[in-house]
Amino acid sequence: MKLPKTCALFFCFILLVVVAECAATEIPQLVIKKYPSQIEPTHPPLQTIKADDPFYSVAGDPSLVTFTSATDRKLHITIDDRYKFYLPPGKSKCFAFPINSGREDIAKHTVRVRVERLTQYYGSWDTIRTFNFYIHLDGQPQIFYLSDR
């Protein structure tokens, strides 16, 4: 049986295609390129906002965080190990935090609350509590009621 020339050429081509497919198996199935971020995280200064300021709309601002004291004791608050203040009993303080710009290290904030409990026989006893909160673009204003326990 003798094959015509075109048929032989066709089979050669198929063979070439199969060989090319097999030869290309050295290429990995998935190639990943990673690019380092060019945007450095910024830490703008923390601003204190008066809640009753008529020129500042607080409705729905996700950057606003309010700390309210729900105790009769004095609260020593530290935010991100940089901003330190104390909260008198029954008072509240409002802050405007920088909004998350896509980097997690900007959005996450750590609060450290220290409460001094004065006792008659044992001196002062400190209760230290730490918690985190996040600022999201699609979030809401947050209020934290801080108790002494």
Partner 1 sequence: MKTRTKKALILGFLVVVLGCAGTRPINQAEMWPKFNTDPAKGVVILEGAASCTIKFINATTNELFMEWSDRGESPALTFNGRAPTRVYITALPKGSWKLEIETFYYQNYIFPASRKLISLYRYTAGVWVGNDPRAFSDRQYTRKDWGWGVSIYTGDIPQYDYQSPTVDIQTTGIATDAVNFVRSLFR
Instruction: List residues binding partner 1 (CB under 8 A).
Output: 9, 13-14, 17-18, 21, 25, 27-35, 37-39, 100-104, 107, 137
Cβ–Cβ < 8 Å for 64, 49 = yes
For residue 85, the minimal CB distance to partner 1 (Å) is 28
Closer by beta carbon to partner 1, 9 or else 118? 9
Closer by beta carbon to partner 1, 70 or else 137? 137
Cβ–Cβ < 8 Å for 58, 51 = yes
For residue 44, the minimal CB distance to partner 1 (Å) is 16
For residue 29, the minimal CB distance to partner 1 (Å) is 5
At residue 45, what is the residue type? Answer: P
For residue 23, the minimal CB distance to partner 1 (Å) is 13
Task: Output the CA–CA distances (angstroms, integers) from residue 15 to 6, 9, 21, in the order listed.
Answer: 14, 10, 10
Specify which residues 143 forms β-bridges with. 66
Question: Terminal CA-to-CA distance of the chain, rounded, Å?
Answer: 96
Report residue 51 as tokens. Answer: 């809640």
Closer by beta carbon to partner 1, 69 or else 100? 100
